[in-house]
Amino acid sequence: MIEGRRAIFILLIASCVESGCAPSDTRPPGSHIQIEYSGNCLVSCGFYTLEISDVGVVKFTPVDDVAENRFRPKRKLSERDITKLLALIQESDFFQLEEQRHCEFLIEDEVSFTYTVSTEQERRSLTRHYGCTDLSRDAVYSLFEETAKLVSLQR
């Protein structure tokens, strides 16, 4: 009898690992994530806009030939990836993060990204400029990088 219970317990753990143990109806309806990677670039930067719907559909719009030739993102995120991305946004407390302070040091080769999260209740966009923020410790930059990894959009 103990072996049977043990097998059920292991099966439950395995199903939690596979599904993330998150109820499927916890996603805010109408939620939407958008990243705009843009700027005035003197070299080949590969600018684009990336949108992810609440059901994981990925829309990639290259802004230049470099992005069009370099990136081949997924067309749809798995349920597990959507859950992970939403957890990262929630853990970062995205809607409470500070705006980037005015940057005195903007150069002609200015590159930035804007990370936008929209739900039916609220919408927030935060922009970060390279050279103005310690990106290694910035929550918005971490979201940008993690989102790029989830959609297989490595820079």
| Residue range 52-72, pLDDT digits in tens | 998 999 999 988 888 888 888
Residue type for 35, please?
I
Q: Which domain holds residue 62?
A: 22-150
Report the pLDDT value the prediction gives residue 4, as an integer from 0 to 100.
35
Higher pLDDT, 78 or 45: 78
Residue 152 has pLDDT above 80, yes or no: yes
CATH at 31: 3.30.1560.10
- 60 domain-assigned: yes
Dist. CA 93–CA 100, nearest whole Å: 15
- 5 domain-assigned: no
Give residue 103's Cα distance to chain centre: 24
- 136 domain-assigned: yes
- 144 domain-assigned: yes
- 11 domain-assigned: no
Dist. CA 87–CA 31, nearest whole Å: 13
| Residue range 101-140, pLDDT digits in tens | 666 665 555 788 899 999 888 899 998 887 776 777 889 9
Task: Tally the domains of the chain.
Answer: 1
Report the pLDDT value the prediction gives residue 79, as an integer from 0 to 100.
93
Report the pLDDT value the prediction gives residue 77, as an integer from 0 to 100.
94
- 15 domain-assigned: no
C-alpha to C-alpha distances, 26 to 29, 41, 51, 58, 79, nearest whole angstrom:
9, 40, 20, 20, 12
- 52 domain-assigned: yes
pTM value is 0.72
Neighbours of 25 (CB within 10 A): 6
